[in-house]
């Protein structure tokens, strides 16, 4: 018999999450029925969406939502022999039983890169960067692209894809160490938004002519200022709004209509799953670029399932460079 440990939402978050909002529970899993597969989680992901979606998708007592790279321990399903790896959406749990539906097989994974990348650059965050940049921003060689939360899972891929696309890339991030990392992976300009003093001046200095494309992971005040520095007919991909995820009172203006109108901007929100039909095709491209060294991947790995709440809160605070992952 296998005992599964799971982190549950003890209490809905109010403001910034607290350790006491989580509760670790342990249950004994039943025997497998025909068609069932028993998995152990190997790597688990902590992502910003868990903060807003916990409110809309979960009730108190539920296992925290999330995805993992998991390995088959026992199987009564021929599609998933023992030892097979998958990406699953089974939440913050060490072990789980699946009927084989809604799993993504990780077939032949190259030896030289870790399987955890299937939760990062060669997974959901990589797809998000790709579709936001190519389908929403519609980048063209010579464009100047601005991205915030640039040293994170999505942002770091956005910058490198924009370089592959022949663009000038400006990134904003929350520490000097992150800024140095951005320069190292090829960003043309990078600054620490927490210490620049005037964000308006920092954006102008990084690109005096303004920006053709803006990949927005942050929203709020940053966006209110950035929209004024878009070039005419600039394109904006609204990917995330992390600056507001922990707010108890919604942020107030300045409002966006003025600069959107004056600069005749195109602004569109998107969720990566809109292009689910192209998932496999784009993951192959991302994996190839990683193997060719065109995309560098950094991971912020926390060891130990017990530390998942701390890793989640740490990511929301900005402790991670690259993808925040938990190694069980
Ligand atoms: N639309 C989609 O399909 C989709 C898919 C995945 C992710 N997203 C969104 O994309 C964004 C980035 O996600 P990710 O997975 O790549 O996370 P991440 O960037 O790896 O981690 C979150 C980062 O956000 C930054 N941050 C936190 N609070 C902030 C604040 N108040 N102002 C500015 N920055 C703040 C921190 O970096 P700093 O140190 O730089 O502050 C932190 O490291 C999130 O908004 C997320 O919701 C959207």
Convert the pLDDT of each residue in 271-301 to its tens digit.
999 999 999 999 999 999 999 999 999 999 9
pLDDT tier at 13, thresholds 50, 70, 90: very high
C-alpha of residue 240 to centroid of ligand 1, in Å: 7
Q: What's the pTM?
A: 0.98
Is the beta carbon of 322 within 6 A of some atom in ligand 1?
no
C-alpha of residue 50 to centroid of ligand 1, in Å: 11
Is the beta carbon of 136 within 6 A of some atom in ligand 1?
no
pLDDT tier at 238, thresholds 50, 70, 90: very high
Range 126-154 average pLDDT: 98
Convert the pLDDT of each residue in 42-71 to its tens digit.
999 999 999 999 999 999 999 999 999 999
Predicted local distance difference test score (pLDDT) of residue 211: 98
Range 247-274 average pLDDT: 95
Range 183-201 average pLDDT: 98
Predicted local distance difference test score (pLDDT) of residue 300: 98
Predicted local distance difference test score (pLDDT) of residue 47: 98
Question: What domains are defined for the chain?
Answer: 3-120+298-327 (3.90.180.10), 124-273 (3.40.50.720)
Residue 97 has pLDDT above 80, yes or no: yes
Q: Which atom of ligand 1 is nearest to the CA of 273?
A: 3
Residue 327 has pLDDT above 90, yes or no: yes
Is the beta carbon of 243 within 6 A of some atom in ligand 1?
yes
Predicted local distance difference test score (pLDDT) of residue 246: 98
Residue nearest to atom 38 of ligand 1 (CA): 174
Q: Which atom of ligand 1 is nearest to the CA of 175?
A: 39
Is the beta carbon of 244 within 6 A of some atom in ligand 1?
no
Parallel/antiparallel/unpaired status of strands 104-105 and 85-88? antiparallel
Q: What's the rounded Cα separation, in Å, for the pair 224 and 208?
A: 18
Residue 243 has pLDDT above 80, yes or no: yes
Range 256-278 average pLDDT: 97
SS3 per-residue string spanning the chain: CCEEEEEEECCCCCCCCCHHHEEEEEEECCCCCCCCEEEEEEEEECCCCHHHHHHHHCCCCCECCCCEEEEEEEECCCCCCCCCEEEECCCCECEEEECCCCCEECCCCCCCCCHHHHHCCCCHHHHHHHHHHHHHCCCCCCCEEEECCCCEHHHHHHHHHHHHCCCEEEEEECCHHHHHHHHHCCCCEEEECCCCCCHHHHHHHHCCCCEEEEEECCCHHHHHHHHHHEEEEEEEEECCCHHHCCCCCCCCCCCCHHHHHHCCCEEEECCHHHHHHHHHHHHHHHHHHHHCCCCCCCEEEEECHHHHHHHHHHHHHCCCCEEEEEEC
Residue nearest to atom 26 of ligand 1 (CA): 318
Range 170-195 average pLDDT: 98
Q: What's the rounded Cα separation, in Å, for the pair 130 and 123?
A: 11
**High-pLDDT (> 70) share of the chain, %:** 100
Range 151-162 average pLDDT: 98
Residue 107 has pLDDT above 80, yes or no: no
**Which of 15, 242, 300 best tests ligand 1's pocket when mutated (most atoms within 8 Å of CB)?**
242
Residue 253 has pLDDT above 90, yes or no: no
Convert the pLDDT of each residue in 311-321 to its tens digit.
999 999 999 99
Q: Which atom of ligand 1 is nearest to the CA of 125?
A: 6
The overall average pLDDT reported for the chain is 97
């Amino acid at each position: 018999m296998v005992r599964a440990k799971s982190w549950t939402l003890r209490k809905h978050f109010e403001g910034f999450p607290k350790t006491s909002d989580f509760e670790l529970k342990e249950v004994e899993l039943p025997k497998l029925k025909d068609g069932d597969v028993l998995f152990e989680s190997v790597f688990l992901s902590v992502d910003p969406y868990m903060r807003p979606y916990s409110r809309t998708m979960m009730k108190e007592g539920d296992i925290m939502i999330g995805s993992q790279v998991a390995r088959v321990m026992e199987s009564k399903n021929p599609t998933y022999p023992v030892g097979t790896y998958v990406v699953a959406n089974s939440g913050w749990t060490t072990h789980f039983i699946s009927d084989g539906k809604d799993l993504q097989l990780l077939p032949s994974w190259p030896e030289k890169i870790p399987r955890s990348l299937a939760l990062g650059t060669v997974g959901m965050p990589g797809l998000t960067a790709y579709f936001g940049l190519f389908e929403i921003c519609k980048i063209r060689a010579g464009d100047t692209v601005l991205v915030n939360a640039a040293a994170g899972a999505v942002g770091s891929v956005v910058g490198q894809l924009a370089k592959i696309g022949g663009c000038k890339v400006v990134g904003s991030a929350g520490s000097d160490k992150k800024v140095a990392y951005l320069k190292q992976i090829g960003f043309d300009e990078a600054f620490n938004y927490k210490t620049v003093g005037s964000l308006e001046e920092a954006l102008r200095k990084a690109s005096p002519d303004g920006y053709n494309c803006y990949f927005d992971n942050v929203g709020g005040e940053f966006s209110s200022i950035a929209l004024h520095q878009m070039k005419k007919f600039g394109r904006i991909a609204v990917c995330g709004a992390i600056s507001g995820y922990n707010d108890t009172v919604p942020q107030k203006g300045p409002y966006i209509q003025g600069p959107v109108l004056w600069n005749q901007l195109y602004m569109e929100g998107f969720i990566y799953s809109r292009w689910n039909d192209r998932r496999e095709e784009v993951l192959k491209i991302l994996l190839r670029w990683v193997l060719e060294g065109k995309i560098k991947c950094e991971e912020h790995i926390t060891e130990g399932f017990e530390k998942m709440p701390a890793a989640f809160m740490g990511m929301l605070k900005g402790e991670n460079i690259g993808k925040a992952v938990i190694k069980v």
